[in-house]
Chains A and B, each alone.
Chain A
């Protein structure tokens, strides 16, 4: 029974618990056991909160027994990226500078999960401060891809994606700044969603690039992602950039799963040069599939998307150089060199040099450069203008079509170590995902088969700001058609853990 429970979807588990077939505690224990079996190989978790998880599950069982109202995902276990603050678990952001830090408050999303009875199993590994595409920038070592343990699970939310793909949790939460939910979802063969910017709260999410950071769900099915999307999203007065609008009807859209008459645009700038042939083959098949399901497909050019990658690697580091100034060794976190003679500034500099990893240092210095007097106009200022042009490309495209599609990532999961000291090669992993971050619109990655190397490929679906329901509608249609054609779920083919 325990093994079967970990194979179930979040929707299936919620229904089984509601019907009294299984308790929340049994569900939680089954997943804790799976983590015990598998996580020494996957290393998805930085911290497993066994006692807190079991306590949360027992509370759900008690509420249910007492006939009290429960949320749609009450009792369902979840893997939470270690960038969300949690008062009862450490929050490290994958950084030595925050090793062991216990935040004094919960993130809004943490609070919403707790209020909805979602069981937080623990905190998952990530590239340090969410900067990276492989989890190799974690100070605590990389996570491994459940499809092939010698390969990266993507990043920066690689721990949450790997936990979901390894059946350690049916649900995960990540954050997407340049692709950090969709890219790991694609290379781990799971569903990942970047909601509209401001659709999910950033309060209590340790900031990387504030104008881009978007928390979102990871799951094994589109419907499960939609259920979590509704639990975690919505206006938050504690986040000044939170959008004060109703959450789009994503669960209904995932159930609808119908694309007949929908206008779908293929973006040539994101589905050609730089993409592996195996990725492009699965992508073309997915587009043909959508056409066979009744969608109207056209090519829609977005000429400035070619400049999204360089614009992003100026804007994100600029914001990061400012945001990470808060790690000053004074009020919390690591402090190095405070020997009674060193000045505050010396202690700050020693602490930051020791506490930050190589990629974080690179980005802080790059951002400091792009913002410095004399370079500002040519770098940061110009990147902000390119951002405007990218938004205009999206606006023009969405006048012609309802959604845009592309591969989620140019390649399948690459081997651990391959790109770790080659920043530009690592940055290219975000090629297709960055435009939606710069424009703040909604985007989803859904598995669309395996490349000839036996590794999963993701289809990216992009929709206008606050039209998040459309990405679920299309994603669910693709998922249903592919599952039915294949006769089983894609993840049943994952070999890394068999």
Chain B
């Protein structure tokens, strides 16, 4: 099933990628080819086969709860794109009305 351009535009929105029209066109064609190729996994008879999310299974990994120094505010903010009053300044997250 070929992937439609509208689907690709939707994926871009979900992925938080503001793509230009030409880029969307180019990517749509490439994604269609890639998805057709990776769909080969569907040929494999895997009825009843458990999925593997991790090659070396580990459960309940804990470490000692020891107190250590954390980053200072200055260290944490050193790479921030914008800082205000010792905080990360971010663009508005709510509509203005």
Contact = CB atoms under 8 A, between A and B. Distances in A.
Interface of A: 101-105, 196-198, 211-212, 237-238, 240-241, 243, 304, 307, 310-311, 313-314, 321, 325, 328-335, 338, 342-350, 352-353, 356, 358, 361-362, 364-366, 368-370, 372, 378-379, 381-389, 391, 423-424, 438-441, 465
Contact of B56 (A307, A338, A353, A440): A440
Contact of B51 (A104, A348, A368, A388): A388
A338 B82 CA distance: 10
Secondary structure dominating the interface of A: helix
B38 to A, nearest CB: 4
B39 to A, nearest CB: 7
Nearest to B95: A343
B79 A311 contact: no
Given A102-B78, A104-B71, A304 B44 contact: yes
B11 to A, nearest CB: 5
A305 to B, nearest CB: 12
Interface pairs A-B: 3 shortest CB-CB: A440-B55, A384-B51, A335-B81
Nearest to B74: A104
Contact of B52 (A332, A348, A388): A388
A372 B12 CA distance: 13
A295 B28 CA distance: 50
17 contacts: A197-B55, A304-B44, A307-B41, A310-B41, A313-B38, A332-B81, A334-B81, A343-B91, A344-B93, A361-B19, A369-B7, A369-B31, A378-B39, A384-B52, A423-B30, A424-B34, A439-B55
B57 to A, nearest CB: 10
Given A240-B61, A344-B93, A348-B16, A314 B38 contact: yes
B88 A365 contact: no
A197 B57 CA distance: 11
A362 B30 contact: yes
Contacts of B91: 338, 342-344, 346-347
Contacts, number: 184
Interface residues of B, number: 55
A196 B55 CA distance: 10
A7 B44 CA distance: 49
Given A335-B81, A369-B11, A438-B55, A386 B41 contact: yes
A424 B33 contact: yes
A241 to B, nearest CB: 6
A361 B8 CA distance: 12
Contacts of B78: 102, 104
A183 B51 CA distance: 27
A379 B55 contact: no
Nearest to B88: A331
B56 A465 contact: yes
Interface string B42-72: 1110100111111110100101100000010
Contact of B44 (A325, A329, A338, A386): A386
Given A241-B56, A362-B31, A365-B12, 18 more contacts: A104-B76, A241-B54, A304-B44, A307-B43, A311-B41, A330-B90, A335-B81, A349-B18, A361-B17, A362-B30, A366-B34, A369-B31, A379-B41, A384-B53, A391-B52, A391-B55, A424-B37, A465-B56
